Amino acid sequence: MSLEYRVFVQTVDDTIVPRWLEALNTLNMCCEIHPEFSFTDQAGLLPFKLNIQSGTRPELLNQDFVSGFEFDMEGFDIDAQIATLSEPGFMDRLLGRNTQRDYFMSAEMDERLRPMKKMMIFNWCFDDIFEYRLARLSSITLSQLCGGLCYSREDECFFDGADAVTTALAEVEQFETLLKKKAVKTHRFEAWL
């Protein structure tokens, strides 16, 4: 089972990467993104090298690991999204149901989403303990740096506001420390592939 965060932004380019890493590195860890990463052509696995400094299980501190998430970026147009949601499916047509939608998320959120032209998708699962940390913290910090919005499909909520990163870090650290030892899977960093 995979989970997903979506980040909606007006624009994003590679000049933000150093600031993105700087923001991540203030969250009790030191991390690096794969050296060949670029927003212009990244699709698929986005690996990070990370070294957790505090806030997690003692046996995982001060060691180099590799983890990541699936990353994709596509164009976004709020009006096109609303139109797609309003298209009747087979059963709707058969039963004569009205599928007209006036909004994508809600009237208020749609107004906040209207200027956004890109949607980044952070798709992750529990293959190792750090996927959740990287997807959650990466998506929220990037959305804040770009003046965008971060949305969790599973939680059906937006992560924004001044305390979004602090709250996310506390939740990630709690998850990592509460996980049973036999469920902890990691991948040691040896070299970039």
Query: Do the Cβ atoms of 177 and 43 come closer than 8 Å?
Result: no
Whole-angstrom distance, CA of residue 180 vs CA of residue 159: 27
For 85, other C-beta atoms within 10 Å of its C-beta total 13
pLDDT tens for the chain, 193 residues long, are 688 999 999 999 999 999 999 999 999 999 999 999 999 988 889 999 999 999 889 999 999 999 999 999 999 998 888 777 655 566 655 666 655 556 577 778 888 999 999 999 999 988 889 999 999 999 999 999 999 999 998 888 889 878 999 999 999 999 999 988 888 999 999 999 7
By CB atoms closer than 10 A (0-12, 13-18, 19+), residue 136 is: buried
Residue 124 bridge partners (DSSP): 3
Q: Is the pTM of this model over 0.85?
A: yes
Provide φ and ψ at 71, rounded to 5°. -125, 140
- At residue 89, the pLDDT reads 61
Whole-angstrom distance, CA of residue 153 vs CA of residue 55: 26
Q: Where are the domains of the chain?
A: 3-76+117-183, 78-115
